Amino acid sequence: MGDEQPGKYFFLCFMSLPAELREMVYSAKFEGLPEEIIVSTHMPNTLAIARFAKLLPAICYTNRTIFNESVPVLFRERTITLSRNGVTVLGDLLKSIPNQHGFRAITSLEFGSGTMRQYKTPLPKVKG
């Protein structure tokens, strides 16, 4: 036990759980977070994922797989409010999640004043 590191095999064990159980873990981790996520183009940085750095819990950034699984769970349980043309920022982030899981996860979306004024690129159509 002397050389064993706590959590050394946690990631391997966690990823071996069924996706449904991992989603339950993410959901429990997100309890207590604000019920609304406000997205704005005034979020600093040019990379969509980096723009969300202060909005997304640290667990989302563990690795790409956990990001792709956890962000849809977070968005499914929150209201996304777009302000100041934040649709571009949100669209870029959601496009980075494979198989349109990010787009499909949004269950509550609100548009603030002036949100769509300058948006020119259409969001991809969600199938099914």
21-72 confidence digits (pLDDT tens): 999 999 999 999 989 988 876 655 555 556 566 678 889 988 999 999 999 9
Tell me the pLDDT tens digit for each residue of 107-124: 999 887 655 554 555 666
How far apart (Å, rounded) are the C-alpha atoms in residues 118 and 85? Answer: 7
Under DSSP, is residue 40 helix (H, G, I), strand (E, B) or coil? strand
- Position 10 scores a pLDDT of 82
Contact 75, 105 (CB under 8 A): yes
How far apart (Å, rounded) are the C-alpha atoms in residues 125 and 61? Answer: 27
The pTM of this model reads: 0.74
How far apart (Å, rounded) are the C-alpha atoms in residues 77 and 17? Answer: 22
